[in-house]
Amino acid sequence: MFVFYFPVFHKIDSYFYGNFVFMSLSSFEVFLKSLEAHPLIDASIPLSAYVSIDLSIHNTELKTVNILSSDNLEHFIWDYMKTKNAEVAYGGYFEQRGIYARSEYFNQVNPEEERNIHLGLDIWIEANTPIYAPLVGIIHSYKNNTNHGDYGPTLILKHKIEEAEFYTLYGHLSITSIENLKVGAAIKQGEQIATLGTAEVNGDYPPHLHFQIIKDIQDYNGDYPGVSNQLDLEFYRHNCPDPNLLLDLF
């Protein structure tokens, strides 16, 4: 049994993300900002080679793209990076997306229950790219989530730093990334923990990493919701804070 410790929430500051306004930072979010994280991918790639990308329903450029096709979406993302002279594209936290409409796994009869708001930050880069642990931790759980549009191979790490316990999730990995793992195994900061999977195994997406911070893992193992509906959004806003507070990409 895990004992969860969460700092008391104090309202600290305000910030903006996409079309959402977050009125204040909690003490946990301020704590995340204070940590020195190792880059998730090759540390030799400079931040100047990263570019933000908008895959939301508000991006009019996507109206000419069949976003229900992973091949077409991949061409759009890679062409976008090429025009920006970028090696990596990133973004997606709290982004309302249309790409989940292709899968019954995300959709409900009631529009308010349709899960289409993304709770993690995506790093778009080639398949087989090595992924590194941003912080020291242990392996909490892993699983191959095989629903259409799901994570595919997934790894969750548990972190305990300065008495605060929380989790990080890594989705859309390669099959080999979750082979021969041991729950409870220690992970060093900067240690390679995975490689990215192809569309054939990663839930049918262009190659990318879904990175998510989770305060309370609840009863999940090897999985945790990465997309929310409108009704649950406030809960996930607090339980899954903006990953960029830790990664500091922009």
pLDDT mean over 86-115: 82
Q: Which residue has the higher pLDDT, 104 or 8?
A: 104
Instruction: Write down the pTM of the prediction.
Output: 0.89
In which band, very low, low, confident or very high, does the pLDDT at 115 lie, cut at 50, 70 and 90? confident
pLDDT at 10 (0 to 100): 37
pLDDT at 17 over 90: no
pLDDT mean over 224-233: 94
pLDDT at 105 (0 to 100): 64
pLDDT at 2 (0 to 100): 36
Q: Helix, strand or coil for residue 217?
A: coil
**DSSP assignment of 179-214:** TT--TT-EE-TT-EEEEBPPTTTTTS-SSEEEEEEE
Average pLDDT, the chain: 89
Closest CA to 131 of 38, 215, 9, 33: 38
As given in the structure block, the two tokens for residue 227 are 């997309």
Return phi, psi of residue 229, to 5°: -95, 180
CATH domain 15-247 topology:
Glucose Permease (Domain IIA) (2.70.70)
Q: Helix, strand or coil for residue 177?
A: helix
pLDDT tens track for 59-85: 999 999 998 899 999 999 999 999 999
Return phi, psi of residue 17, to 5°: -145, 115
As given in the structure block, the two tokens for residue 115 are 């899960």
- Sequence spans of domains, the chain: 15-247
